[in-house]
Amino acid sequence: MRLFSLLYGVVVRNVDRRVPAPLRPFWTSPTGPQTVFFWGPVFKWSVVLAGLGDVLNRQPHLISKKQTLVLALSGVLWSRWSMVIRPRNYNYMACNAVMSASQVVLLWRSISNDLVKVWQDFRSPRGVEPNSTVPLSKQDH
């Protein structure tokens, strides 16, 4: 691990000399690229993008309600935490807020899919397939 720290220090010192003046406030900010407060959220966005991919592609019956609920609540919790800590980390807050929102959409899709199935089961007569060609009067006898 010491090797990575040394390598990171060399990269930061070399880039520091080349940062243009308009970007210098961002570069030297407490949540800028020289700190973990920048790189943590940058890499967490990959988790968020995976969740957004699930929103677009995952079939509702494959969505885990427990996992989705935990991720949604985790996003709310860490969004709040990012505004309490110093320095405030708006990138981290946005990352967690988007994660929470995407998980709420997934949870809604899963629950609504289950409700549609329950409604279809409730509406169909017991023991009869919805596309059955046998008249109901013959099934009763």
pTM of model > 0.85: no
pLDDT, one tens digit per residue, over 124-135 is 876 555 565 655
pLDDT, one tens digit per residue, over 74-109 is 999 999 999 999 999 999 999 999 999 999 999 999
What confidence score (pLDDT) does residue 129 get? 59
Residue type, 32: G
What confidence score (pLDDT) does residue 36 get? 87
Q: Which two tokens stand for residue 51?
A: 């969740």
User: 106 and 54 in contact (C-beta within 8 Å)?
Assistant: yes
Rounded distance, CA 48 to CA 125, Å? 43
Rounded distance, CA 89 to CA 29, Å? 11
DSSP label of 132: -
pLDDT, one tens digit per residue, over 15-70 is 999 999 999 999 999 999 998 899 999 999 999 999 999 999 999 999 999 999 99
Work out the pLDDT band at 141, boundaries 50, 70, 90. Answer: low
What confidence score (pLDDT) does residue 140 get? 53
Alpha-helical runs (H) found in 17-126:
24-28, 36-57, 65-84, 90-123
